[in-house]
Amino acid sequence: MGRFARAGATLGVLVLTASLALTGCGDDGEDEKPAFVPGQQQVGGVATTAPEPSAPASGSPVAAPLAVSPADGATRRPVSTEINARIPGGGKVSKVALTTADGSAVAGRMRRDGSGWVPSAPLKYATKYTATVTGTGKDGQTHQGTSTFTTMPRPKSMIGSGLYMFSGKTYGVAMPVVAEFSPGIPKKDRAAVQKRMFVQTDPPQPGAWHWVDNGTQAYYRAPEYWKTGTTITVRLALAGIPLSNGRYGNTDRVATAKIGRAFEMTVDNATKRMTVSENGSVVKTIPVSLGKKSTPSSSGTMVVMDKQESTVFDTRDDPNPDNRYVTKIDFAQRITWGGEYIHAAPWSEGVQGRRNVSHGCVNVSMAEGRWLFSRTLVGDPITVKGTERRLAPGNGWTAWSLSWSRFVAGSALPVPEGGQPSVF
């Protein structure tokens, strides 16, 4: 087992400080064209596109003005601000227009439940905007309100964020959407943050978010593995979102990726064999050697997080002298943060299929390691059964190691049975 600290992982993973921009954790330019607009998004659920709002009919009577939020004259508003309105006596907002001081229009869409209008990209810092909102009251009358407000200057204290998904890439069917935060999101802020984390799947599939206990990661997945050929589009619309610890979200992150064929690996410690299936059919059975009793492999469903054709495992910092070594490794595929990999181990080929001798990794022969490496994708699942240790939550992308009921229990927002319905 290669025991590397997470900051040393070579995943393009995360170093959630100044080096985050170099790790490829999603796009982070606030001026970038958004991958999709809120009317085409979901928060943990089925995505459907909201119909374009229509303007009130010409000549409709205009009743009392409606109350717009942010209020007219408001200053220092977060750049994550949404436009809200209340119609006297109740009713429905039909149109929102947001413009800058020079009249330039800002794109955005209404949440389906009418709770807010979401700009398609972060607003600019220290900038004046005018929102004009039109709605229809329960009595059929048209109401309109206008508000001019100014956003806050760029804050000094921001929270680092990352998205483990890259536009244009193809992933395995178990690839969760993984959002990461440093420091972690306090529990009291998670609902507000989750409400701004949009996921769209095509074809539509229900889903939910789950927070790791310390708030440093949140996973999004469906009740079952993604359908092959699915397109997943993500927007973590967190730029400027205020948190209770005085920090603000540092940027929006967006990505659109594809899900490839269904490739699954199952390892049974009782037989010391890996069964490999592709699109539901068994294509290969591979002898393996798992972790010995002093360094057991983890049992649970893990996900290939990173692939390196050649690397070096350096465990000289391990407190146990028996576990210290420096070894060149071929065809390494990382499956936990704690240092468990699938990799070629020519030194254990004589006992593969019969005895466990590894430091926690899944050892295969050089030939089988090459074969696996040539076929797997990041996001492919591997399930290990029957070892002395259970997979610890958060030790890797552990979204699939939980039952659906346990997974949705980790959401900061209510999740109906079967998954979050569309709120757009």
Q: Are 177 and 234 in contact (CB under 8 A)?
A: yes
- 302 and 370 inside one domain: yes
pLDDT of residue 324: 62
Within a domain: residue 304? yes
- 214 and 333 inside one domain: no
- What are the tens digits of pLDDT across the range 365-399? 999 999 999 999 999 999 999 999 999 999 999 99
Q: Are 360 and 1 in contact (CB under 8 A)?
A: yes
- 243 and 133 inside one domain: no
The backbone torsions φ and ψ at residue 346, rounded to the nearest 5 degrees and listed phi first, read: -60, -25
- How sure is the predictor about 420, in pLDDT bands with cuts at 50, 70 and 90? low
* 101 Cα distance to chain centroid: 35
Within a domain: residue 386? yes
Within a domain: residue 286? yes
3-state secondary structure of 199: strand
- How sure is the predictor about 73, in pLDDT bands with cuts at 50, 70 and 90? very high
- Entry field: residues in the chain: 424
Q: 118, 133, 150 — which closes off a domain?
A: 150
Within a domain: residue 404? no
- 168 and 309 inside one domain: no
Q: Distance between CA atoms of 16 and 161, rounded to whole angstroms?
A: 6
The backbone torsions φ and ψ at residue 38, rounded to the nearest 5 degrees and listed phi first, read: -55, -30
- 144 and 182 inside one domain: no
Q: What is the CATH number of the domain that holds 315?
A: 2.40.440.10
356 CB-side CA count, 13 A: 24
pLDDT of residue 114: 81
Q: How many domains does the chain contain in total? A: 3
Write the CA distances from 287 to 70, 230, 375, integer angstroms: 63, 32, 17
Phi-psi sector, 256: left (phi>0), alpha (psi -120 to 50), beta: beta
Q: Distance between CA atoms of 382 and 384, rounded to whole angstroms?
A: 7
For residue 235, give its domain range.
11-32+155-261
Q: What is the CATH number of the domain that holds 160?
A: 2.60.40.3710
Tally of CB atoms within 10 A around 256? 18
Within a domain: residue 120? yes
Q: Are 257 and 167 in contact (CB under 8 A)?
A: yes
Q: Distance between CA atoms of 192 and 241, rounded to whole angstroms?
A: 9
For residue 408, pLDDT beyond 60: yes
- 255 and 268 inside one domain: no
- 137 and 242 inside one domain: no
Instruction: State the amino acid at position 297 in one-letter form.
Output: S
User: Residue range 209-218: average pLDDT?
Assistant: 94
pLDDT of residue 275: 98
* Element housing 371 (H / E): helix 366-375
pTM of the predicted structure, to 2 decimals: 0.81
For residue 323, pLDDT beyond 90: no
Give the Cα-Cα-Cα angle 370, 373, 374 (nearest 5 degrees): 85
Tally of CB atoms within 10 A around 343? 26
Q: Are 80 and 249 in contact (CB under 8 A)?
A: yes
pLDDT of residue 321: 66
Q: Distance between CA atoms of 19 and 4, rounded to whole angstroms?
A: 18
Give the Cα-Cα-Cα angle 202, 218, 17 (nearest 5 degrees): 115
Q: 239, 261, 283 — which closes off a domain?
A: 261
- How sure is the predictor about 265, in pLDDT bands with cuts at 50, 70 and 90? very high
More confident residue, 112 or 227: 227
Per the omega criterion (within 30 degrees of 0), is the bond before 38 cis?
Answer: no
Q: What is the CATH number of the domain that holds 129?
A: 2.60.40.3780
Q: Distance between CA atoms of 215 and 212, rounded to whole angstroms?
A: 5
Largest Cα span, the chain = 86
Phi-psi sector, 387: left (phi>0), alpha (psi -120 to 50), beta: beta
Q: Distance between CA atoms of 274 and 283, rounded to whole angstroms?
A: 11
* Closest to 161 in 3D by CA, of 34, 255, 81: 255
Q: Distance between CA atoms of 316 and 318, rounded to whole angstroms?
A: 6
Q: Distance between CA atoms of 127 and 101, rounded to whole angstroms?
A: 8
Q: Distance between CA atoms of 333 and 372, rounded to whole angstroms?
A: 9
Q: 213, 242, 261 — which closes off a domain?
A: 261
Q: Distance between CA atoms of 323 and 96, rounded to whole angstroms?
A: 62
For residue 20, pLDDT beyond 90: no
Sheet strands side by side (includes 91-100): 105-106, 91-100, 128-137, 142-150
* 356 Cα distance to chain centroid: 35
- 137 and 173 inside one domain: no
